[in-house]
Chain A
Amino acid sequence: MSSNVQSEKFRGSNVKGQADLFLGPFYSLLRKEVMRFLKVSMQTILTPMVSSLLYLLIFGVSLGAYIQMKGGISYLEFLIPGLVMMGCLNNAFQNSSSSIIIAKFSGDLEDLKVAPISYTQIILAVALGGLVRGVVVGTITYVVGAIFCYFKADTVIAIHHPLWLLVFIVLGGLSFSLLGLAAAFWAKSFDQMAAVNSFILLPLMYLGGVFFSIDNLHPFWQSIARANPLIYFINGVRYGILGVSDVTPEHACVVALVTLVLMYWLAFRTLARASFLRW
């Protein structure tokens, strides 16, 4: 249309010769996923931080004074790893699900289908994007919680087992990011997506041992609670930060790995059957 073009030499050249179909699509989609949540950081990073602060104030300070935990730790200390993991998992889920839902609504999900991107590349890029947001929110929650704990209880929360912490953050973040991706590709309306949030994600979160130790539950409810994979993710992180946990880290790690494999399978199966057409 315009004739004021300098780079005529490029017009007919075969740029496909430089194409890297292995890393290129994956890296681009991952970059897009990360840039997307950074562009709305007020909503994706600051809001979860405020939520964590409120939880710390209400549960950690107000109610925490009346709750005794085993192992000589305060309820405030007990609460912080749970909030870190809850923030990480919730935001990993929200990142991948909202990204796909928005793309379905605006139509740019079609861009992925018509490009030479494999399902594996889509899954890995979206899952990693969710993990990055989960890690950012989890880290901020930890820092806020540690500062809060220092000024309120004069206690420094040191990380006892950083490698275990990393393992559970990565496994948990990826698993919930994959769950978000599967839910979003499955959903055919905003209502269906909201139903997954309300009837699956929130119960799993709030009954996942963020606010209580399963040792304090009746044996019947303990056995029910142990069916919730979040118990293992959250206790794994609690072990990583505080060095105490309701389950052994090895046991928790096996459950976390199995959950991750199941979530990948679910995401792949859903994606392979999903429509990329706009709503």
Chain B
Amino acid sequence: MTASENSAGVTKDTVSPLLVQNLSKNYGAIEAVRNASFNLNKGEVFGLLGPNGAGKTSIISCIVTLEKPTSGSIFVGGFDVQKNPREAKRNVGFVPQEIINHGYFNVEEILSFQSGYFGLLHNRERTDYILHELRLYEHRHKKVKQLSGGMKRRLLIAKALVHSPQLLLLDEPTAGVDIELREQLWQFVKKLKAEGVTVLLTTHYLEEAEQLCDRVGLIDKGEIKMVESTQFLIDKFTGRSVRVKFRNVVAPRDFELRTGETVGDLINKEKLDVNQIEDINISEGTLEDAFRRVIYQ
């Protein structure tokens, strides 16, 4: 997608909720992000995956203007975040990695302030809706320190959603949360996607990315190695593994099916005696396998 701008810093093509072009971010001599480019399609869930220190949070920090890019540009809903930050930011909801305390205020007050920051002084209906959705309504009069870890994380998400953003940035939203909450959050992300919200997600949990993401960008040492659909990555970089158990043989034999190869092809290729086969177990490749292959090999 080309980002041809007018004088107001607004791209002619306003379709992409997020467009990152040749983004670099240095911290002194350290290159945290190197010439990263990708764009998000409306309504998709996009995963930015990489090991610790790969540059995921630096990219998100540049999108929300917490950090200034060393070079390159970022457009949110067609607005250049450097030239027109207020217009760009009103379309973005941001869930940071770390819990925020907000010492003196309760949940309801925090969401009221947050709505106001986005220009919404009478936003009760929306905040009540979000509180119900995130199961925080009955805790709305509690201060942050009175909430459990999971509730605190849901509060971060609630804050990011009070202004109905078109783009939601989730920076490791399930880090350190239990399995039940993680699955609840996955369901919620799916619901947001169904409502048309575009989601950029960074995560260490590749199973999470595989379940949620339409496309993923693999990043390592500040460089985007690949941007592809999740299924394409799995198909291209993993094979299906086949475990065959033979009659009267204790140890099963393992084989790998290449993309496009069938079990029949395997039997012919390996000259297996079909009459001796007792059981066949086929395991699909995972995003984690693809990730390992792209990043570490």
Contact = CB atoms under 8 A, between A and B. Distances in A.
A20 interface: yes
Contacts of B196: 12
A19 to B, nearest CB: 3
B86 A21 contact: yes
B14 interface: no
A113 B62 CA distance: 11
A185 B121 CA distance: 27
A19 B133 contact: no
Contacts of B195: 11-12
Contact of A112 (B85, B101, B117): B117
Contacts of A13: 164
Interface string B95-131: 0101111111100010011111111111101101100
Contacts of B114: 111, 115
Nearest to B154: A1
B215 to A, nearest CB: 23
A101 to B, nearest CB: 12
A110 B120 contact: no
B258 interface: no
Nearest to A5: B132
Interface residues of B, number: 53
B46 interface: no
B135 A114 contact: no
A251 interface: no
Contact of B126 (A10, A28, A31, A35): A10
B125 to A, nearest CB: 5
A39 B188 contact: no
B134 A277 contact: no
Interface residues of A, number: 46
B64 A107 contact: no
The winner among A5, A29, A39 for most chain B CB atoms within 10 A is A5
A19 B215 CA distance: 32
B187 A1 contact: yes
Contact of B112 (A2, A28, A107, A108): A28
A111 B184 contact: no
B133 A5 contact: yes
Given A39-B104, A107-B96, A27 B121 contact: yes
Nearest to A20: B119
Contacts of B118: 16, 19, 21, 24-25, 115-116
B66 interface: yes
A28 B184 CA distance: 31
B128 A114 contact: no
B83 to A, nearest CB: 14
B164 A113 contact: no
Contacts of A102: 103
Interface string A175-203: 00000000000000000000000000000
Contacts of B109: 35
B65 interface: yes
A93 B210 CA distance: 51
Contact of B164 (A6, A16, A25, A117): A16
B56 interface: no
A16 B116 contact: no
B64 A113 contact: yes
Contacts of A20: 119-121
B104 A15 contact: no
Given A19-B118, A21-B119, A29-B116, A116 B86 contact: yes
Contacts of B164: 13-16
Given A16-B119, A276-B66, 11 more contacts: A1-B134, A10-B129, A15-B164, A16-B163, A18-B119, A19-B119, A23-B121, A24-B119, A24-B120, A29-B117, A108-B100
25 contacts: A1-B133, A1-B188, A2-B132, A5-B132, A5-B133, A10-B129, A12-B195, A16-B163, A21-B86, A23-B119, A24-B116, A32-B105, A35-B104, A39-B104, A106-B103, A107-B98, A107-B101, A108-B101, A110-B66, A113-B66, A114-B94, A116-B119, A118-B86, A277-B67, A278-B98
